[in-house]
Amino acid sequence: MKVKLKSPHMDIKQFKLGFSWTMLFFGGIIPLVRGDLKHFFISILLSIVTMGLFWVIFPFFYNKLYIKRLVDTGWKPALDKDKEILKNYGLATILFV
């Protein structure tokens, strides 16, 4: 499932919800490339602690966490359809009501 978000600067980008294949194959590099330093350091640290097992589990959650961070920093759904998708995934905040 994909969702389009509008940035505070009115840029529109499409993001994928659900499993992150790129996170599975490239691990902690993906949060670094996306500028998500918090999850970069978390993934590196927990991958070391769990001897790599974390990189197999984290792709199930990463896209949702990344989109939640974007929404919390001011990104909004581009269309009403995108708003409904975010509500279904539990990512809608009081700002969308």
How does pLDDT run across 28-45, given as a tens digit for each residue? 899 999 999 999 999 999
The pLDDT assigned to 93 comes to 60
Query: Do residue 55 and residue 71 come from a single domain?
Result: no
Strand order across the beta sheet in which 12-16 lies = 12-16, 2-6, 76-77
Closest of 71, 73, 74 to residue 87, by C-alpha: 71
Whether 31 maps to a domain, the answer reads yes
Which residues form the domain of 86?
61-97
Cα dihedral sign, 70-80-13-19: positive
- The string of pLDDT tens digits covering residues 54-74 is 989 999 999 999 998 998 888
Closest of 15, 19, 1 to residue 61, by C-alpha: 19
CA distance linking residue 44 with residue 58, whole number of Å: 11
**pTM (global) more than 0.85:** no
The pLDDT assigned to 85 comes to 87
Q: Using a pLDDT cut of 90, give the percent of the chain over it.
A: 58
Query: Do residue 55 and residue 67 come from a single domain?
Result: no
Query: Do residue 72 and residue 90 come from a single domain?
Result: yes
